[in-house]
Amino acid sequence: MNLKDFLKKKKICLWLIILLVFFLFLNQMDSLFLWDENAYLANGRNILSQSAYSEDFRFPFIGYVLASMWFITGESVFIAKLTMILFTLGTAYLFYLISRKYFDDNHSLLMTVMFSLSSLIIYWGFRVYADIISLFFIVLSFYFFLNEDKYGKKGLLLAGIFGSVAFIARFSSFILIIAQLIYLLIKKRPKCFGILLLGALIAAAPWLLANFIWHGDPLHNLVAQWDVVSMYTHPEPLDKHVFNFIISMHLLIIFMPAGIYSLYKRKADKWFFILLYLIIFDIYFAFFVNLKDLRYYLIALPFLFIWVGEGLLWMKKHVKYSHVFTIVALISVLISAFYMVSHITERGACENNGALMQSISYVCSNVNTGDMIISNVWPYYGYPCNVSAVSTWSDIKELLVHHDPSYVIYHDRGGLDYERAQLDENLILDETLNGICGEKVYIYVQG
């Protein structure tokens, strides 16, 4: 997996260049951050310098990734976005290498194109979220785990290291290490179990030590994340998890049973591990995670697409006119991709100069570093304006006493639910900003 071998693969190189241009285009079309992006960017800034706003309960690894890049380039939103895109491209390339373990080169390239154009990859591939970074290290860990015959004990050690990094990047990715360890136990390979576990502990040690030094608890980030999530999320129905699976894979689902059967029948390398991983994924996210967010399927996506690819190959061997099924699968992916691109561009058309973006420009032009903002969409002001920002979590009179804000801001279509009547009764309306899609942002000041 060196540079020389990479450049020899002209087709995949061309596809990655196309993907790079594609994601840069999407980023240009939809430039307003998503909610959590503000927090991750602020945490990255806080590592390099003093940030007036940060959220230390967030997954820590992405902040250090951003800070490392910014240490070289200076703080830049574009560099942050480009970094996420490069992780997405790296994930696509690793998926291609993994696919070649199961399929020939042409089929591997086809499956990589389909994987890269899945709606989840398109939507999240340029966002500053922990999910894509975690996905990259999951796929990297699986690459070495799968190629144990090539890399030997070193491969297992690296699989453990990168699996642990995936966990630190996003804690729910612990399921990868669990699946790998269970697989090795089932296969009665205690030495390999120990090597992989050692790799995981090597990667986790700096994180555990830093937590212990700074917070007195080696699991501080994990506990803080758990407490916040438990407080602000409530159990969603199981059928939403199932519905998310259908949205993620759409018509491709019909090829999976044949893929599972074929992998089992030909005893494909690590076929049982893929099944085990996806079973653990389903159990954990269906029954132990309150929020059934569609993006959580990202870490299952590479393994699901291996099933799809194997299913298409099985049909090619056993069903007449099998090329029709390949065309159906590709059309299904393209329709889903077209829908997601349309959704992204529509959001950008509304938000790039919408009421929220206008309010960010207004506030940033009229505050000083360290000023306080209260809002039901507070992260959108905390990072861009480098100000302290808190939510409308209580009665407005109590909030005013505690925080003495420069502005109190209300978005009528986003953020926390809050009665705007309280603001009208206790504050002076300074500005009303109207978005082109009908949304409004109200900016208040104290009398």
Q: With 70 as the cut, is the pLDDT of residue 8 above it?
A: no
Q: Where exactly are the structural domains of the chain?
A: 3-350, 355-445
Q: What is the pLDDT of residue 69?
A: 97
Q: With 80 as the cut, is the pLDDT of residue 7 above it?
A: no
Structure tokens at 51: 């940030």
pLDDT tens digits, one per residue of 337-366? 999 999 999 999 999 999 999 999 999 999
Closest CA to 346 of 123, 33, 29: 29
Q: What is the pLDDT of residue 57?
A: 85
pLDDT tens digits, one per residue of 270-290? 999 999 999 999 999 999 999
> Coil, strand or helix: which one is 374?
strand
Closest CA to 224 of 62, 58, 35: 58
Q: What is the pLDDT of residue 415?
A: 87
Mean pLDDT of the chain: 94
Mean pLDDT of 395-414: 93
Distance from C-alpha of 425 to C-alpha of 408, rounded to nearest angstrom: 13
Structure tokens at 71: 């240490």
Q: What is the pLDDT of residue 78?
A: 97
pLDDT above 90: percentage of residues in the chain: 87
pLDDT tens digits, one per residue of 19-71? 999 999 999 999 999 999 999 999 999 999 888 999 988 999 999 999 999 99
Ranking 10-24, 73-87, 186-200, 211-225 by mean pLDDT, the lowest is 211-225
Amino acid at 223: V
Per the DSSP assignment, residues forming a β-bridge with 405 are none
Q: What is the pLDDT of residue 394?
A: 87
Q: What is the pLDDT of residue 436?
A: 92
Per the DSSP assignment, residues forming a β-bridge with 443 are 409, 431
Q: What is the pLDDT of residue 226?
A: 87
Closest CA to 406 of 433, 377, 369: 369
Mean pLDDT of 142-150: 96
Q: With 60 as the cut, is the pLDDT of residue 1 above it?
A: no
Q: With 70 as the cut, is the pLDDT of residue 6 above it?
A: no
Q: With 70 as the cut, is the pLDDT of residue 431 above it?
A: yes
pLDDT tens digits, one per residue of 111-142? 999 999 999 999 999 999 999 999 999 999 99
Cα 401 vs. chain centroid, distance in angstroms? 38
C-alpha pair distances (Å), 106 with each of 55, 229, 251, 269, 362:
45, 43, 22, 19, 52
pLDDT above 70: percentage of residues in the chain: 98
